Structure 1
Amino acid sequence: MIYSERNHPIQQKRGSIEVICGSMFSGKTEELIRRLKRANFAKQRVEIFKPKIDTRYSEDEVVSHDKTAIRSTPVESSGSILLMSGDVDVIGIDEAQFFDEGLVDVCTQLANQGIRVIIAGLDMDFKGVPFGPMPALCAIAEDVFKVHAICVRCGALAYVSHRLVDSDKRVLLGEMTEYEPICRDCYNASKHQE
């Protein structure tokens, strides 16, 4: 604890990194928005960023699949987050898997400056492979919160966002018509049917 000249405790900013991860339709963005709205309610200065390529629901809002939304700033690269973060207490980052690997250093710098960084993103791509900077972010985070969708085929906890359309592109924006959350067993069974 740090004290002022009059021996009063001084509030010290403590930076941290929180990661919310899981498959599509698991509530990652909804949880990110909930945490950011709580910070806003507590009168903390909040800034939210998302990758510019994510225009599914809105160009300038982070929007969950159930249409809950919060204003955000779309950016081209992780470096832009450092340039645009300004004087804030909390930074939210959605769809982190779409950012470059530099996001890990950006989040570390922000946390070291005393900023609470809350990140949401897919931990794996449609093939079940760790996605973008997410594995490294999970490794350096103080808190990792994994959320699960329910397998649409059997009702177990979902493991992966299974792609329903024929495309091998790693990044393919989509919703329920392009992806479904399925468990490990159903995913393995679907690979044998292909």
Structure 2
Amino acid sequence: MLFNEDVFKRRSELGGSIEVVCGSMFSGKTEELIRRLRRAQIARLNVEIFKPRTDTRYHETEVVSHNQNSIPSTPVENSSAILLLGSHVQVVGIDEAQFFDDELPYVCNRLANKGVRVIIAGLDMDFQGKPFGPMPALMAMAESVTKVHAVCVRCGNPALYSYRLVPSDTKILLGEKESYEPRCRQCYELDGLV
């Protein structure tokens, strides 16, 4: 796809930035990512969305929220592919950022320095309540960080933890409500995990 000079001029006028949307499972991260990307599309900006190739829970080539809202995306093996495929657009969206390699912060920073608005969604903590993958570095370098919360299934308070229901010590276990539930700090602590 060829881009004219007006597109690049508009992108540089907007300036690059990094935005992170984070929180626990079922908190609306992907929903917020889709909302921001759709607004960019309404503004007639050139948008490209990426997700890890390994995330095929809902669809192989779309980013899909738990509410079944979706947007077309490009599955990639690693973050360096994002740098190659996203360098000629105005807005880059990245879903499930916690599953990417440690080069993702570098990639996002390079894109932002080139004038691209980068919007990232991902889990900030794993099921053990520890920082997850490249998310801490992305949050540190972002111009804005939005932390969204689910509702604790035990008490109804804001939930910030993703409690794993199935016995497994593996860090990455793709799953939905059969495998995870959102919990607040107190209800998460009841099971001695924090």
TMscore range, shorter length: over 0.9
Q: Using the alignment, how far apart are the partners of 2:48 and 2:181 within structure 1?
A: 31
- 1:162 corresponds to: 163
Q: Using the alignment, how far apart are the partners of 1:82 and 1:26 within structure 2?
A: 28
Percentage identity across paired residues of the two chains: 65
What TM-score comes out, normalization by structure 2 length? 0.92
Task: Give 1:18 shift.
Answer: 0.1
Please list, as runs of the form range in 1=range in 2, the aligned pairs for 1:70-85 lying within 5 A after superposition. 70-85=71-86
- 2:91 corresponds to: 90
Q: Using the alignment, how far apart are the partners of 1:149 and 1:126 within structure 2?
A: 14
Task: Give 1:84 shift.
Answer: 1.1
Q: Using the alignment, how far apart are the partners of 1:87 and 1:106 within structure 2?
A: 14
- 1:107 corresponds to: 108
Q: Using the alignment, how far apart are the partners of 2:141 and 2:192 within structure 1?
A: 33
> Alpha carbon RMSD of aligned pairs, Å?
1.0
Q: Report the secondary structure of 2:45's partner residue.
A: coil
Q: Using the alignment, how far apart are the partners of 1:54 and 1:153 within structure 2?
A: 28
- 1:17 corresponds to: 18
Q: Using the alignment, how far apart are the partners of 1:53 and 1:191 within structure 2?
A: 31
Q: Using the alignment, how far apart are the partners of 2:131 and 2:16 within structure 1?
A: 26
Query: For this pair of structures, how many residues does the alignment match?
Result: 183
- 2:122 corresponds to: 121
Q: Using the alignment, how far apart are the partners of 2:181 and 2:146 within structure 1?
A: 21
Q: What code does the residue aligned with 2:129 have?
A: G
- 1:173 corresponds to: 174
Q: Report the secondary structure of 1:20's partner residue.
A: strand
Gaps of 5+ in 2: 1-8
What TM-score comes out, normalization by structure 1 length? 0.92
Q: Is the 8 A contact 2:87 2:111 kept in 1?
A: no
